[in-house]
């Protein structure tokens, strides 16, 4: 397993980032200021994570995505652990926002994240079309925080 920091040609990773955020316009809002970490297994891209600094104490995962054929193998967890270890001396908190998907929420909570707040109707107000996960339309953005 190898994790690479991507500093140039970040839009080359749009394809995988669309798994975590299916609206390219939304990705384009944060991709330029993001640091992207790409995880490779046997030279194959499996997962990617886009991270931004939100303030002097906080970094935010804007996108965490794994190709479906590589899911449930620990790659997303490895990226979260990598980000935590990389930034724990510089920052105090790691935050992220996600939809109202119990499977996704449990994934993050098992990795030490706790819900802090919600942004009502975020997915309705900010996306040009309805977003569905596991057959349920996403409405609110749920923010989670972890102490590094």
Query: What are the pLDDT digits (tens) for 30-39?
Result: 999 999 999 9
pLDDT of 50-105, one tens digit each? 999 999 999 999 999 999 999 999 999 999 999 999 999 999 999 999 998 889 99
Q: What class does CATH assign to 2-147?
A: alpha beta
Global confidence as pTM: 0.92
| Domain boundaries, given as residue ranges, for the chain | 2-147
State which H helix or E strand residue 105 sits in: helix 102-110
Q: Provide long-range contacts, Cβ within 8 A and 24+ apart, for 133-136.
A: 133/99, 133/101, 133/104, 134/101, 134/103, 136/100, 136/101
């Amino acid at each position: 397993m190898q994790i690479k920091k991507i500093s140039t040609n970040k839009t080359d990773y749009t394809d995988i980032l669309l798994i975590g955020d299916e609206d390219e316009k939304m990705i384009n809002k944060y991709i330029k200021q993001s640091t992207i970490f790409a995880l490779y297994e046997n030279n194959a891209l499996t997962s990617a994570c886009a991270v931004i600094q939100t303030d002097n104490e906080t970094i935010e995962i804007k996108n965490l995505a794994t190709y479906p054929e590589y899911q449930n193998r620990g790659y997303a967890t490895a990226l979260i652990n990598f980000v935590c270890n990389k930034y724990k001396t510089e920052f105090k908190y790691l935050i992220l926002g996600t939809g109202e998907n119990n499977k996704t929420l449990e994934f993050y909570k098992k990795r030490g994240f706790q819900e802090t707040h919600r942004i009502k109707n975020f997915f309705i107000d900010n996306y040009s079309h309805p977003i569905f996960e596991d057959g349920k339309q996403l409405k609110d953005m749920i923010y989670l925080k972890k102490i590094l």
